Structure 1
Amino acid sequence: MTVGSQVKSCYSSIKSVEASLELLASKTQELEAHEKLNQAKAIVSEVKNDLNYQVIQLTKEEPQYK
């Protein structure tokens, strides 16, 4: 597996985690749990954005990773 495909796979996984956290937050009734899940989602979202940037950079710098 190339570095590019590993980064893309990680990006896909983190998108799934973000969606799961959003779903859990929307289903929970407890306010504190809802807030913690939203905080976790915000952190995961930052990581997702960073990974997306890395995917873009890899694609630009290394055409073989497309």
Structure 2
Amino acid sequence: MTVGAQVKSCYASIKGIEASLRILRSQTNDLEAHDAYLETEHIIQEIKKDLEEQVLLLARQEPQYNQ
């Protein structure tokens, strides 16, 4: 698996985690858990943004990774 493919795979996993956190947050009645899910969701969103930028960077700098 190329570096580009690994980064894209990680990005897809992060999107899944983000969706799961959103579901968990909407289903909880515990305010503390709700806040923890929301905080974690924000962290995941930052990571997702960084990975998205990395995917774009790899596509520009390393055409062989662009699959």
TM-score (norm 1): 0.97
How large is the Cα RMSD of the aligned pairs?
0.5
Asked if residue 7 in structure 1 is aligned to residue 7 in structure 2, the reply is yes
What secondary structure is seen at the aligned counterpart in 2 of 1:29? Answer: coil
How many residue pairs match? The answer is 66
Question: What's the CA shift for 1:16?
Answer: 0.3
Q: Which runs of 5+ in 2 are unaligned?
A: none
1:65 matches 2:65:
yes
Gaps of 5+ in 1: none
Please list, as runs of the form range in 1=range in 2, the aligned pairs for 1:10-29 lying within 5 A after superposition: 10-29=10-29
Report the CA distance between 1:64 and its aligned residue.
Answer: 1.4
Displacement of 1:2 after TM fit? 0.4
Q: How much does 1:53 deviate? A: 0.3
Superposed structure 1 runs of 4+ greater than 3 Å apart:
none
Structure 2 match to 1:41: 41
